[in-house]
Amino acid sequence: MELLLLAALLLVAAYFLLRVTVLRMPRCKSAAKLHGKTVIITGANTGIGKTTAMDLARRGARLILACRDRQRAEAAVQEIIQETGNSQVVFMQLDLASLKSVRSFAADFLQSESRLDLLINNAGLMNSGKTEDGFGMIFGVNHLGHFLLTVLLLDRLKASGPSRVVTVASRAHEMGTVDFNYLKTHRDLGPGSGDIQLFQLYCHSKLCNVLFTYELAKRLQGSAVTCYSLHPGAIRTEIARYGGFWWSLFWKPIIYLFFLDAESGAQTSLHCALQDGIQQLSGRYFTCCAPKTDMEPKARDAAAARKLWELSESFCGLS
């Protein structure tokens, strides 16, 4: 009995040691203030997006919470205002699963706001189904909606420069591929709607995020706009809240024990958004508040990045 108790105590001690060492995320060290700056954050009513918004509000930014769920977003607005004392926090309706909604949001924003200093493409999901326009839900929300949003706002970003585009990707992109033939014929990144297939589609969409940022940086050369993609870390968020029974049974204990909170997950987003001196790293992928140097060739495939951009333009009716 004493041996079992000792073993349990050692396991607990090892777990907490792991939490404060290996699993601990670096923190954004920027002391930048954002008074007079305007920021858009997609999916800012929960998780990493909400935590990022809270930090930027404390720095004095004018914040646009671009979200689908009005009730949850308005509750988040009130909480951020109450916590930070910054009254310049507003909700604007955006459904990334609808290209019409993306265009409407961009038009409303350009009409009502005179500048845009920071666009954070944060929203993401791992749901089955199709978007309003017939694309796979994961591809449509995680990549295509953000692609169109960014393109529609580029002129305002350029006029407000120096400005930045930050896209929340994931280390899961390392397990992703982009099958352009399947994408062209099925308007999706792959088949299937089971938990494993949805996770694979998520990985594919995160590779799209990395390739999009890589190509965007090339197209922004000579402008005052820089862009970055990032891995937020293994974070407890609501991204898989629609997962099936077996997904929940297997993953929830692991997520609870070994994944970190949203505040930790926001740190690399904040670093990419705020840190001075990283402008020359535009187009790069960051993790743990630092650029990753050993990227896989598929994440720096110039031909694939250009092809994805051109196909995305076609899907969005821009070409």
- Provide the annotated active-site residues: 202
Least Cα distance to 109 among 160, 58, 182 occurs for 160
**Other C-beta atoms lying within 10 Å of the C-beta of residue 319:** 10
Least Cα distance to 209 among 192, 187, 224, 231 occurs for 231
Least Cα distance to 182 among 224, 139, 220 occurs for 139
Q: Which residues pair with 38 in a beta bridge?
A: 62
Rounded CA gap, 177 and 139, in Å? 12
The two three-digit tokens of residue 38, written as one number: 């305007």
E strands along 100-239, which residues? 118-121, 163-168, 225-231
DSSP 3-state of 167: strand
The two three-digit tokens of residue 115, written as one number: 């500048």
E strands along the chain, which residues? 38-42, 62-67, 89-93, 118-121, 163-168, 225-231, 285-287, 290-291
